Chains A and B, each alone.
Chain A
Amino acid sequence: MSAAVTFATMRRILAQLRHDHRTLALLIGVPTLLMILLRYVFDQPMLFDRVGPMLLGVFPFIVMFVVASVATLRERTSGTLERLMTMPLGKLDLLLGYALAFGLIALAQVGIVLVISLTWLGLDLNGSLGPLVLVSLLDALLGMSLGLFASAFARTEFQAVQFMPAFVLPQTLLCGLIIPRDDMASWLTAISDVLPLSYAVEGMQEISARPDFTGTLAVDVAVIAAFTIVALVLGAVTLRRRTA
């Protein structure tokens, strides 16, 4: 582990994104566009106030999952990962470099969506802004670390892209966004209890309903952070210095 190498990796990933204007525009623009659509599809400010914050937790998660899984797969298939593995780079240097770079991108993403939601779209938030940003950022990092981990099981970019619906859509259905989790069949609730996105959505519900940092919210934040760390560690395990 070396802070210098971790930061160099972060700068390298940000430089790659800087050269790729289209990806950057999609990363920032797509969640904003979806939020605008959501506001006018529902066309009921009350409903938007309830669903908007939840989606603020889900969008960064999905986007970061896709971007991170394809980015690491590219690193594997282009040979740059193998090259780095012959160099004095710790596996965590690489993963934390990704986490920092994508964390910064997520911050920009969430910031812009929030500004537009709170002004133009008239989102009415009961809770405070700090926890909201914190939970969205954690959701983005969760998506990123799961994407890094999932990419280890993909041999091609075709497969990597398919992991998005496989990993993400079941969670989206079960997380309480569409039907409250308590209203689902008990076996579905049980499954949703072990899926990280459920806590992301619950956290956002807490934030939009209550102004103070509740105990439930604290648990949600801890669970999301724990999932993120476990996925990062598992991701590190899948990076091999020696391959067949």
Chain B
Amino acid sequence: MMSSSPASGAEPAVSVRDLRVVRGGREVLHGLTFDVPRGSIVGLLGPSGCGKTTLIRALVGVQIVRSGTVTVLGAPAGSAGLRRRVGYATQSPAVYADLTVAENLRYFASVLRAPRSDVDRVIDEVGLGASRDQTAATLSGGQRGRTNLAVALLGSPELIVLDEPTVGLDPVLRQELWELFRELADRGATLVVSSHVMDEAGRTDRLLLMREGVVLADGTPDGLRSRTGTPDLETAFLHLITEKSGSPA
């Protein structure tokens, strides 16, 4: 079962303080600070190249950071104790192309010491039952993406970090995946989900709008709408950009 630990509700699932990351000699994250409350779905939104993936890599502890702190479930990101408590799916599917869906999941489940039954559970959750014995190389892009997502759900992690999990999926599947994310959050997991599609932003509990390595806005979707006085989030985003560039530097 999910360890929801509602008692420690005060402590955020993720806490980032003044995070700076330099990649290829260029600073790509310029001192980010934010919290992710437990049991919520936080959307990480922004155009391609704004630093979403770098931030996500920092959350799971595979990114070398210049300065600042990233605390995940009370421990420094990437520390050994977190490796079974954080699920991570990269944007491009990180699965073995020459193994079947079930073989991939069985391997990752044994690495995570997750129960055997988890394999069937996650295959069910992402709706891949019909292709479980197909090699990943022969799957469609969307199916491969869902296999990738399924790996992140193995072992019922407390924090699930997903980089663009819905890219290239048809609207019905996207809808189903967001329902799954909500179900996971209801069971007590915390989700950080990145996307560059604005219409997905409304499904989150909290939004982090990013642009060029800074957080433009951090709040609930409703809060952002009312703050900018715009009905939809796409316009709200544009509003925030002009507001930012309009203000004296």
Contacts and interface: CB of A to CB of B under 8 A. Distances in A.
Contacts of A83: 88, 90, 94, 108, 151
A244 B24 CA distance: 8
Contact of B103 (A4, A9, A15, A244): A15
A12 B90 contact: no
A80 B96 contact: yes
A87 B111 CA distance: 7
Interface of A: 4-5, 8-9, 11-12, 15-16, 19-20, 78-80, 82-89, 241-244
Nearest to B22: A244
Interface in B197-239: none
Contacts of B61: 86, 241-242
Contact of B99 (A16, A87, A243): A16
Q: Which 10 A-B pairs have the closest CB atoms?
A: A79-B94, A8-B110, A12-B107, A88-B83, A83-B94, A19-B98, A16-B98, A89-B111, A242-B64, A80-B94
A211 B94 CA distance: 51
A8 B83 contact: no
A26 B99 CA distance: 19
A241 B96 contact: no
B86 A86 contact: yes
Interface residues of B, number: 32
B112 interface: yes
Contact of A243 (B64, B88, B93, B110): B64
* Of B90, B94, B99, most A-chain CB atoms within 10 Å: B94
Nearest to A8: B110
Contacts of B94: 78-80, 82-83
Contacts of B24: 244
A82 B62 CA distance: 7
B99 A12 contact: yes
A83 B161 CA distance: 12
Nearest to A93: B111
Nearest to B25: A244
Contacts, number: 80
B109 to A, nearest CB: 9
Contact of B80 (A15, A16, A88): A88
A242 B90 contact: no
Nearest to B103: A15
Contacts of A78: 94-97
B244 interface: no
30 contacts: A4-B113, A8-B107, A9-B111, A11-B107, A12-B96, A12-B99, A12-B103, A15-B99, A15-B103, A16-B96, A16-B98, A16-B99, A19-B99, A19-B100, A78-B94, A79-B90, A80-B94, A80-B95, A83-B90, A84-B111, A85-B62, A86-B78, A86-B83, A87-B108, A88-B113, A241-B62, A242-B64, A243-B62, A244-B23, A244-B24
Nearest to B135: A19
Given A8-B110, A88-B112, A89-B111, A82 B90 contact: yes
Contacts of A11: 107
Nearest to A20: B98
A9 B80 CA distance: 19
Contacts of B174: none
Given A9-B107, A86-B61, A87-B111, 13 more contacts: A5-B110, A8-B111, A12-B96, A16-B96, A78-B94, A82-B62, A83-B94, A88-B111, A241-B61, A242-B62, A242-B78, A244-B23, A244-B63
Contact of B110 (A4, A86, A242, A244): A4
B13 interface: no
B92 A79 contact: yes
B164 to A, nearest CB: 13
B151 to A, nearest CB: 7
Contacts of B135: 19
Interface string B109-129: 011110000000000000000
A6 B92 CA distance: 26
Contacts of B83: 86-88
Nearest to B109: A8
Most chain B CB atoms below 10 A, which of A9, A80, A86, A241: A86
Nearest to B58: A242
